[in-house]
Amino acid sequence: MKVLFCSQPFQENKVDETYEYEYTCAKQLGLDIHLISLEQLIYQDNPLAAVKQIQPSPEKVLAIYRGWMLKPFLYQKLYDALLAKNIVLINTPEKYVHCHYLPESYGVIKDFTPLSVWLHKKEIDASFQNVYRIVNRFGQAPIMIKDYVKSRKHDWNEACYIPDASDKEKVQQVTSRFLELQQDELNEGVVFREFVKLQFLTHHSQSNMPLSQEYRVFFLDGEPMYMANYWEEGQYDDTPPDLQPFLEVAKKIKSRFFTMDIAKLENGSWTILELGDAQVSALPEQADRCEFFTRLKRKLP
C-alpha cells in the first residue's frame, strides 16, 4: 500500500505543512509514502506532472491519498494519472463522489440523519422562488445551509443558521451571504438541513457557534477503524458512543474508505451529521495520528 501526501506549494520535495505530522508518523511506521503536486494538478492541469515523483509499479498496487479536498473532476484526473502507473486509489471516482457530495449518499443515510433538501446552483433563481419552495417542507422549523460538501459553520449567524424556515427575508439573507462567501468554492449547489437539537457542549471560542458532542469515525471496508472527538473544546463524556446502530448502514455505503460524523442528540440518541471520503477528511486536532496509521497499516499491509 502506498500513502500519497500533498507537497508544499511550490516545493514539490517537501510535504505540505498541514500534513507534516501525518507524513512523519507514516514514515516512522515504514509505510510506502510519496508526494504529489496539487499545483500541477489544479493550476497547471497536468496530472502526469503531479505524480511524476512516483515510479510506475510492475503490478497493480493500492494507494490512499491524504490531502486537501478535490472537486470530483480533479479526483478523476488524479485517479487516471495514477492508474496509468498501475497505482489504484482505494476509492474509485464514483465512490469518492458518493461520500463527498451529501445528495449522493443521502438515500442511504436518510433514516439516520436530519431531513435534507437541495438545489443545484443552476436552479437558484434571482427571485429565490425555488429556494422558498423547497424550504417550505420545514415549516417554521430552524434549518441550516451548506453546499454539497461544506457549510460555513464558523459564520454561524450570517451564513449558516436560519431560525425559521418560513421567514423568507431571513432565508434569502442567509442564502445570499452563504453564496457570496463561497463564490467559486461553491460545490454544486445548496443543501438545506433540519436543525436538530444536539446535546450542548460549549460555544466555539472564535465563532461562538454552539458545539455538541461530535465524533469523527473512519470506516474501512464497512468496519470502524478509528474514532476521535471532533472538537478540541468542551468536556466530552468519558464513555464513547456505541457504534452498533450505524454498522448496518455503514455496510451499505458505496465506499471502501469513508468518514461518518456522528453527534449526540438532546434525548441521548445519536445521529449522522454527514459522510466524507476518508482520504480528504481531516483528522481532528486531538486525534493520535500515529495510532491512525498504525491501524491503517494493520488493515491494509
Mean pLDDT computed over every residue of the chain: 94
pLDDT of residue 234: 85
pLDDT of residue 204: 83
Q: Confirm if 55 and 85 have CB atoms less than 8 A apart.
A: yes
Residues 104-131 have a mean pLDDT of: 95
Residues 125-151 have a mean pLDDT of: 95
> Grid coordinates in use for 215?
465524533
Residues 198-220 have a mean pLDDT of: 88
In the predicted model, is pLDDT for residue 203 greater than 90? no
Q: Confirm if 1 and 63 have CB atoms less than 8 A apart.
A: yes
> Grid coordinates in use for 45?
492541469
43-68: pLDDT as tens digits: 999 999 999 999 999 999 999 999 99
25-34: pLDDT as tens digits: 999 999 999 9
In the predicted model, is pLDDT for residue 207 greater than 80? no
pLDDT of residue 184: 87
Q: Which residues of 187-200 are buried (b: 16+ CB within 10 A; e: fewer)?
A: bbbbbbbbbbebbe
Band (pLDDT 50/70/90 cuts) for residue 278 is very high
Residues 276-292 have a mean pLDDT of: 96
> What Å distances lie between residue 191 and 107, 117, 121, 196, 257, CA to CA?
14, 6, 10, 15, 24
Structural domains present in the chain: 2-89 (no CATH), 99-105+197-282 (3.30.470), 115-194 (3.30.1490)
Q: Which of 244, 227, 246 is nearest to 236 (CA)?
A: 227
pLDDT of residue 237: 82
pLDDT of residue 141: 97
pTM summary value: 0.93
Residue whose cell numbers read 466530552: 236
In the predicted model, is pLDDT for residue 99 greater than 90? yes
